[in-house]
Structure 1
């Protein structure tokens, strides 16, 4: 923080003392910073669009999954690029409600796909249900993957 303040003061002194030389350099640096910011924003928007295009289904299914891991998860890669990494947080909702019923504590698990998923392919597995607030049963709730983080090739 102190280094940043020192650099800002030094830049202002140079700009006031030598405006003919400091102004063009400052404008060039500002343009370069703007270009870098635009590229980063474009890449993040592209990644967010790709992650939003994934088909993720989470359902309690005691016929296909054991009792210890009853949450049947299907992740289908509908994008043109291979999905390299994916992690998410599972939220639980009562049908028609907008309150997340999963316990919001530090023990709440973060789920992830163990391997890359090629375009057009799907990955399925059984996972444990996140800890729920008192008074709710897992089979009466709807589940959604939220806070998606991932990367594509």
Structure 2
């Protein structure tokens, strides 16, 4: 923080003392910073739109999945580009409620996708059940993927 304050004060002194030289350089620096900020915002919005086009359905399916991984995941890549990687956390909700019943501890698992998934392709897998708050049974809950993070090819 001290270095930042020092740099701002130095820039201010140079701007007052040598305005004809410092002003064009400051303008170019601000323009470059604005371009970088716009590019970051554009990339973030692009990734958010691509993640929104993913269709993920998670259901409790003890008959169709192994006992240690009773959640069935169906994933469809609705994008026009391949998905390179995907991570998420599973949340559990009672029907009609908005309180997450999965314990969100620091050690809560982060689930990973299939790696590369082509545009329009489907993927199915069985997932382990997240730790639930005491007193709740998984067959009475709805499961959703939250905190999605992913990357897509360009």
Q: Which runs of 5+ in 2 are unaligned?
A: none
Root-mean-square deviation (CA, aligned residues, Å) is 0.9
**Equivalences for residues 118-129 of structure 1 within 5 A:** 118-129=118-129
Shift of 1:30: 0.3
Distance, in Å, in 2 between the alignment partners of 1:117 and 1:64 is: 23
1:65 equivalenced with 2:71 (yes/no): no
Which stretch shows the higher mean deviation, 132-141 or 4-13?
Answer: 4-13
Distance, in Å, in 2 between the alignment partners of 1:4 and 1:85 is: 37
TM-score, length-normalised on structure 2?
0.96
Which stretch shows the higher mean deviation, 66-75 or 105-114?
Answer: 105-114
Report the equivalent of 2:107: 107
TM-score, length-normalised on structure 1?
0.97
Report the equivalent of 2:7: 7
Distance, in Å, in 1 between the alignment partners of 2:115 and 2:46 is: 22
Shift of 1:104: 2.0
SS at match of 1:115: coil
**Equivalences for residues 42-121 of structure 1 within 5 A:** 42-121=42-121
Alpha-carbon displacement from aligned partner over 1:43-73 (angstroms, at most 9, x marks no partner): 1101100001100010011121011110001
Q: Which runs of 5+ in 1 are unaligned?
A: none
Which stretch shows the higher mean deviation, 84-93 or 113-122?
Answer: 113-122
Distance, in Å, in 2 between the alignment partners of 1:57 and 1:51 is: 14
Distance, in Å, in 2 between the alignment partners of 1:17 and 1:37 is: 29
Report the equivalent of 1:137: 137
Distance, in Å, in 2 between the alignment partners of 1:100 and 1:128 is: 17
Distance, in Å, in 2 between the alignment partners of 1:114 and 1:82 is: 12
Report the equivalent of 2:40: 40
Runs of 4+ aligned residues of structure 1 deviating over 2 Å after TM superposition are: none
Number of residue equivalences? 153
Distance, in Å, in 1 between the alignment partners of 2:57 and 2:69 is: 15
SS at match of 2:11: helix
